[in-house]
């Protein structure tokens, strides 16, 4: 079944574009006809991502940027608008999961890094792109939150704090930007796999040594899946459709919403 070109003539900016979720979403938007500006920290991985996106016959360019540097973010947004003419859509997805430790043992420097990336960085990107969208007359933004920002999982105090903040930023920005015809929503994935992030989470929860999970990674995986009503992990491929819906005209009256992609975890 062919995918409709819903985003033909539009440009999407994707941060964290070389990671699994960012790249999979960039590819989905390319399939639907969007021009894609891919933003990430790592040049090689970014180049590889651009190479994959352009196979769909769209314009795509990569931009190396540290989202925790507001000057770099502004320069990158200016570069994208100069190259593409405009930014119609933003998938604000760059992030860092952090360590897995109980709150009383959690390292201060890692807490600061998580907040700097997931909260400050997300805000810097949102602000810079929103300024452009206000001048352009509108747009749509989807922020990457997490079910960690809904339920507060054990051993993830920094990540949970950052993602609760993302949900709050989304709700407030949706109100502030509504008069400018800019919609702001969020997605909150839960357990997604297989792959590096799933393996990392399972292994680190096992190593954390708390009452909530076994010390055996295989049993941790079973414990996590048993908490999901659909009794499976989600696939990364199940994320882009939700992002595309929120960006599309089908969601033209939806703003300030956080959509769980969680298999039924609430």
pLDDT at residue 133, as a whole number: 98
Residue 185 falls inside a structural domain:
yes
Residue 122 falls inside a structural domain:
yes
Overall average pLDDT of the 248-260 stretch? 98
Quick: pLDDT tens for 90-129.
999 999 999 999 999 999 999 999 999 999 999 999 999 9
Quick: pLDDT tens for 37-58.
999 999 999 999 999 999 999 9
Residue 202 falls inside a structural domain:
no
Residue 93 falls inside a structural domain:
yes
pLDDT at residue 2, as a whole number: 54
Q: 194 or 189, which is more confident? A: 189
Catalytic positions: 159
Residue 206 falls inside a structural domain:
no
pLDDT at residue 1, as a whole number: 47
User: Mapped to the 3 state alphabet, what secondary structure does the chain carry?
Assistant: CCCCCCCCCCEEEEECCCCHHHHHHHHHHHHCCCEEEEEECCHHHHHHHHHHHHHHCCCEEEEECCCCCHHHHHHHHHHHHHHHCCCCEEEECCCCCCCCECHHHCCHHHHHHHHHHHHHHHHHHHHHHHHHHHHHCCEEEEEECCCHHHHCCCCEHHHHHHHHHHHHHHHHHHHHHHHHCEEEEEEEECCECCCHHHHHHHHHHHHHCCCCCCCCHHHHHHHHHHCCCCCCCECHHHCHHHHHHHHCHHHCCCCCCEEEECCCCC
Residue 146 falls inside a structural domain:
yes
pLDDT at residue 81, as a whole number: 98
Quick: pLDDT tens for 119-177.
999 999 999 999 999 999 999 999 999 999 999 999 999 999 999 999 999 999 999 99
**This prediction's pTM:** 0.97
Residue 212 falls inside a structural domain:
no
- State which residues form the domain around 171: 11-192+235-261
Residue 239 falls inside a structural domain:
yes
* CATH code, domain carrying 78: 3.40.50.720
pLDDT at residue 115, as a whole number: 98
| Domain count along the chain | 1
């Amino acid at each position: 079944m062919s995918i409709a070109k819903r985003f033909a003539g539009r440009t999407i900016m994707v941060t964290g574009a070389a990671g699994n979720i960012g790249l999979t979403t960039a590819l989905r938007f390319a399939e639907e006809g969007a021009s894609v500006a891919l933003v990430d920290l790592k040049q090689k991985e970014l180049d590889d991502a651009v190479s994959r996106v352009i196979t769909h016959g769209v314009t795509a360019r990569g931009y190396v940027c540290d989202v925790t540097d507001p000057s770099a973010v502004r320069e990158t947004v200016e570069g994208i608008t100069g190259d593409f003419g405009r930014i119609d859509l933003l998938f604000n997805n760059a992030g860092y999961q952090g360590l897995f430790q109980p709150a009383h043992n959690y390292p201060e420097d890692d807490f600061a890094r998580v907040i700097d990336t997931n909260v400050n960085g997300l805000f810097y990107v949102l602000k810079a792109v929103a300024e452009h969208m206000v001048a352009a007359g509108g747009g749509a933004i989807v922020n990457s939150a997490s079910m960690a920002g809904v339920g507060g999982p054990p051993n993830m105090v920094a990540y949970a704090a950052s993602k609760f903040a993302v949900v709050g930023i989304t709700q407030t920005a949706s109100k502030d930007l509504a008069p400018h015809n800019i919609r702001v929503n969020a997605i909150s994935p839960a357990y997604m796999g297989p792959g590096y992030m799933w393996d990392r989470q399972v292994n680190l929860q096992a190593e954390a040594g708390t009452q909530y999970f076994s010390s055996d990674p295989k049993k941790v995986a079973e414990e996590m899946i048993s908490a999901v009503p659909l009794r499976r992990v989600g696939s990364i491929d199940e994320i882009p459709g939700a992002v595309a819906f929120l960006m599309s005209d089908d969601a033209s009256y939806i703003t300030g919403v956080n959509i769980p992609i969680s298999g039924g975890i609430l």
